[in-house]
A and B are shown apart, each in its own frame.
Chain A
Amino acid sequence: MEKKRVVHYINNFFAGIGGEEKADIPPESRPGRIGPGMALAEVLGDKYEVVGTVICGDSYFGENIEVAQEKLLSMIGDFKPDAFVAGPAFNAGRYGVACGTIARAVEQKFSIPVITGMYEENPGVDMFKKDLYIIRTGNSAADMRVAMPKIGALLKRMMEGEEILSPEAEGYIPRGIRVNYFADQNGAARGVEMLVKKMAGEAYVTEYPMPVFDRVDPQPAVKNIKKARIAVVTSGGIVPQGNPDRIESSSATKYGIYSIEGMDMMSPNDFMTIHGGYDRAFVTENPNLVVPLDALRQLEREGEIGELVNYFVTTTGTGTSIGNAKGFGEQFSKKLVEDKVDAVILTST
């Protein structure tokens, strides 16, 4: 049976090229294994082969991310990899960021299992833990003989398509991904048990630590609203009749941009709502309740606002993940900026 091909990424230091004075070396590729790759090969065993090692100086990578990444991806591709290991980087910050960056790029480009390892305080952890399996390591290379067997073991399971177990079982840093399972007792029984412990002052473990939200600071007031170009953005699910882009009623994965050019109001003949989280009856009759085009046109005529752009941006807010919502905002705000929009009215429901 042909051995599965593993490619390994390390920095100048672990390649034995040199320390800080060699941190500016550009990417290079070598056949076979080097330095920590020896330990990796040992843990992987006979069915897998570390076929190549790619190396880059930490400073070079940090200062030339795009060039370095492109060059490294090309070198990695030449080895026809089945899997990819970066590091481990322990507590080396620049190295951690490089390992995370290249590992994620390899996964995106080649769709193969990738893995890295870091100390929990390495800045690369927060940047990449949601995207990658990062084995939890000690804070220095002295931990290599403990870390590498964990990396090897998890990589093999990934390559064999086995179910990846919990962070504790596999030794990776929790990725913050919520995965379903069937507990032994129902939620009510677990809840009562947790309450009894909490009241008694005994230790208990919450099943979901509270999330952190990034709050957006309010922007300064619009200087001259009478000259301002205004756009409406809504999470109220208003779409053209028939919902041409098939935006979901809940947990939206897309948004739409629709024309209001030449319209004085939102006619129920032209627009509908597909939002699954509120009583739609009133809005079905009068979509202006959510996209207040009637009032805005009047303000436009009276000169109270400069002008309204000729479209609105819309999605369904109910159940839509923050990840998706953030993605939508990042995309359409570019268009708003390009179209010289000064201010946006966000309507929710």
Chain B
Amino acid sequence: MKLELGKIKIKDVQFGDVTKVEGNVLYVNAKEIETLVLEDERLISAKVELAKPGESVRIAPVKDVIEPRVKVSGNGGIFPGVISKVQEVGNGRTHALVGANVITCGKIVGFQEGIIDMSGPAAKYCPFCSTYNVCIVIEPAEGLDTHDYEAAGRLAGLKAAARIGEAGRNITPDEVMSYETKPLQEQIKQYPNLPKVGYIHMLQSQGLLHDTYYYGVDAKVMLPTVMYPTEMMDGAIVSGNCVAPCDKVTTFHHLNNPVVEELYKRHGKDLNFVGVILTNENVFLADKERSSDMVAKLAEYMGLDGVLITEEGYGNPDTDLMMNCKKVSQKGIKVVLITDEFPGRDGKSQSLADAVDEADALVSCGNGNVIINFPPMDRVIGTLDYVETMIGGYEGSLKPDGSIEAELQIIIASTIANGYNCLAARGY
């Protein structure tokens, strides 16, 4: 399976009469987006606001971040099984508006949505401080069930991103990347002398408000399966979850998976990247045992020499991470884990909720419990009403002047456990 990814670099975003890309500037027709979002009767209001790098802007409570993309050639469409019809994706050509994002925000669903600052000292922890963001502030119909509100918010963002992505269809990209993974046997033959490497991608699936979808299938009712990495780049996986904000693998991150990117960089040089094993993080012990058994079986079946494993969330899914690590290691396959840490505000407690001896190679994505100070911002997109009850917030977090004191984990994707960021923790 081979995908050409055309990157259209977006260097500014402005409102316009027509949604289009011209001279690396994204123009957004706010009315068009608002009308599109309000097709869903579960939402009674939608307002588009723009946020640019360096502005004194705080966005909260953020639900998802989505890079606009469009399928230019090859099978299927963006976000198959959710926005486009179910059809295999990952082949052909796709265009991405790199540097632009759709951000959904508004009244919280649970406690799990987070904050993005576009400038100031907290900005450096979030990858979206440096992108041109089309924020959609949504409001649910009165009395709407939280699960329906989550679904409506999720679909609003994906629909808007797909619509905005259309603006890139006929634009000549600034850069075209090519990614290819062949069917297993051919892929192994292509680089017979290089170690065969796979990526075990754990999807958050602890239940409602903690879900992820693969071709529209809720990951918690899915059995572990094998996929081509390029499927992700067309939106085969979308986020439906609101785990702790710092840990959230946004839909942007599914489209731009950093482990896939790095493995392709070294593909054919010092490793042979043969594929992705997709698995879940269910809450029942039986599910954990079954899924990790199947992950190890698939890894063995594919003849892998080494794997990277990433998780989403912390605490309960640490168990899945460790089961996967142990069982895959026992097949004689080398394992490296990527995850983040929660050792308490003083940094003195155990960083993980579970541990196995086999977990002897781990990459840290930082300590999410550290307390951070956020200065007041001139403009708030969304609302700060929920700061003190959001994960990472606490009594007294929100000061009268609009400044915030909270744990780092309140910032979207700040310690994301897939290795997207440079933030790390070390022992002192």
Contacts and interface: CB of A to CB of B under 8 A. Distances in A.
B351 A208 contact: yes
Given A178-B427, A281-B145, A281-B208, A194 B363 contact: yes
A199 B333 CA distance: 9
A72 to B, nearest CB: 26
Interface in B205-223: 206-210
A130 interface: yes
A8 to B, nearest CB: 25
Interface in A190-230: 190-192, 194-196, 198-200, 204, 206-208, 210-213
B259 A192 contact: yes
A321 B350 CA distance: 7
Contacts of B283: 278
B419 to A, nearest CB: 3
Contact of B419 (A130, A187, A251, A281): A187
In this complex, which of B112, B244, B351, B424 has the most chain A Cβ atoms within 10 angstroms of its Cβ? Answer: B424
Interface of A is mostly: loop
B370 interface: yes
Contacts of B110: 276, 279-280
A322 B425 CA distance: 18
In this complex, which of A184, A204, A278 has the most chain B Cβ atoms within 10 angstroms of its Cβ? Answer: A278
B394 A167 contact: no
Contact of B359 (A179, A210, A323): A210
Contacts of B347: 177-179
Contacts of A249: 111, 389-391, 393
A186 B355 contact: no
A250 interface: yes
A279 B389 contact: no
B146 interface: yes
A323 B420 CA distance: 29
B314 A319 contact: yes
Contacts of B147: 281
Interface string A293-324: 00000000000000000000000011101111
Contacts of B346: 177, 321, 323
Nearest to A280: B110
Contact of B420 (A178, A188, A195): A188
A187 to B, nearest CB: 3
A205 B263 CA distance: 20
B270 interface: yes
Contact of A179 (B362, B420, B428): B428
B357 interface: yes
B364 A187 contact: yes
A189 B270 CA distance: 13
A332 B348 CA distance: 22
B247 to A, nearest CB: 10
A174 B428 contact: yes
Interface string B386-428: 0011111111000000000001110000000011111111111
A196 B271 contact: yes
A201 to B, nearest CB: 9
B349 interface: yes
A318 B315 contact: yes
A181 to B, nearest CB: 6
Interface in A138-160: none
A281 to B, nearest CB: 6
Contacts of A279: 110, 206-210
Interface in B340-387: 341-352, 355-357, 359-370
A253 interface: yes
B308 A175 contact: no
Contacts of B409: 250-251, 319
A132 interface: no
B258 interface: yes
B261 interface: yes
A188 B207 contact: no
Nearest to A275: B111
A3 interface: no
B367 A180 contact: yes
B426 A321 contact: no
A337 interface: no
B367 A178 contact: yes
Contacts of B271: 192, 195-196, 199
A305 to B, nearest CB: 27
B357 A210 contact: yes
In this complex, which of B147, B261, B347, B389 has the most chain A Cβ atoms within 10 angstroms of its Cβ? Answer: B347
B422 A182 contact: yes
Interface string A317-346: 111011110000000000000000000000
Nearest to A284: B146
B418 A177 contact: no
A175 B348 CA distance: 8
A324 B367 CA distance: 16
Nearest to B364: A207
Nearest to B425: A178
Contacts of A204: 361
Nearest to A165: B428
A188 B259 contact: yes
B151 to A, nearest CB: 13
A191 B145 CA distance: 41
20 contacts: A130-B348, A175-B427, A175-B428, A179-B425, A180-B366, A180-B424, A188-B419, A190-B424, A195-B271, A196-B266, A208-B352, A210-B356, A211-B352, A212-B350, A249-B389, A251-B392, A279-B206, A281-B208, A321-B369, A324-B344
Given A195-B307, A211-B350, A319-B368, 10 more contacts: A167-B427, A175-B427, A179-B425, A191-B338, A192-B266, A207-B426, A208-B341, A280-B110, A323-B344, A324-B349
Interface of A: 130, 164, 166-167, 174-192, 194-196, 198-200, 204, 206-208, 210-213, 246, 248-251, 253, 274, 276-281, 317-319, 321-324
Closest 5 CB pairs of A and B: A321-B344, A187-B419, A188-B419, A188-B258, A246-B395
